[in-house]
């Protein structure tokens, strides 16, 4: 056996092992339970609900909850790809609902501040009109 043959054999074996690991990982990722994806999406739906999205963005919350229900069913049916896809969609709907709720709250707060400014200006104008002119 030459020096070159001793180098090729371990490298060939290493390359074969790496290829096998990559192939097994790729195949197993489609079959493993999508419980982590569903859990992350469930947390996003819960966060949106606690942000008031059920009242401020009801359509998006309804969609997120329905997709979560279907993702849970797909998980029970061991249809992990569908469960992942539905969980991702539910998470996107929940984030949209939360964003809409936050936007509605910010708009309401800005409107309230503008109303307070208007009232203060009126009071200031009245006070200036009543003040004696010198």
Give the tens place of pLDDT for each residue, 79-90. 999 999 999 999
In a domain, residue 119? The reply is no
H helices of the chain, where? Answer: 3-31, 35-50, 53-56, 58-76, 80-130
How many structural domains is the chain composed of?
Answer: 1
pLDDT at 34: 84
Residue 80 is part of which domain span? 36-112
Look at residue 30 and tell me whether its pLDDT is greater than 90: no
In a domain, residue 25? The reply is no
The mean-pLDDT minimum among 2-16, 46-60, 97-111 falls in: 2-16
Give the confidence band of 120 by pLDDT, cuts at 50, 70, 90: very high
Look at residue 16 and tell me whether its pLDDT is greater than 60: no
Q: How many angstroms separate the Cα of 100 from the Cα of each of 31, 86, 88, 111?
A: 35, 21, 18, 16
Q: Is the pTM of this model over 0.85?
A: no
Residues 6+ apart with CB under 8 A from 34: 71, 74, 75, 80, 81, 83, 84, 87
In a domain, residue 79? The reply is yes
pLDDT at 13: 57
The mean-pLDDT minimum among 15-19, 81-85, 92-96, 119-123 falls in: 15-19
In a domain, residue 2? The reply is no
């Amino acid at each position: 056996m030459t020096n070159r043959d001793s180098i090729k054999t371990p490298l060939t074996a290493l390359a074969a092992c790496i290829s096998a690991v990559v192939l097994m990982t790729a195949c197993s990722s489609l079959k493993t339970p999508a419980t982590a994806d569903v859990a992350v999406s469930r947390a996003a739906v819960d966060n949106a609900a606690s942000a008031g999205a059920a009242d401020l963005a009801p359509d998006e919350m309804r969609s997120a909850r329905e997709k979560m229900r279907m993702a849970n069913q797909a998980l029970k049916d061991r249809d992990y790809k569908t469960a992942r896809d539905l969980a991702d969609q539910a998470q996107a709907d929940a984030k949209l609902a939360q964003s809409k709720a936050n936007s509605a709250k910010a708009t309401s707060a800005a409107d309230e501040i503008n109303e307070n400014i208007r009232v203060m200006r009126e009071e200031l104008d009245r006070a200036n009109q009543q003040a004696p002119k010198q």
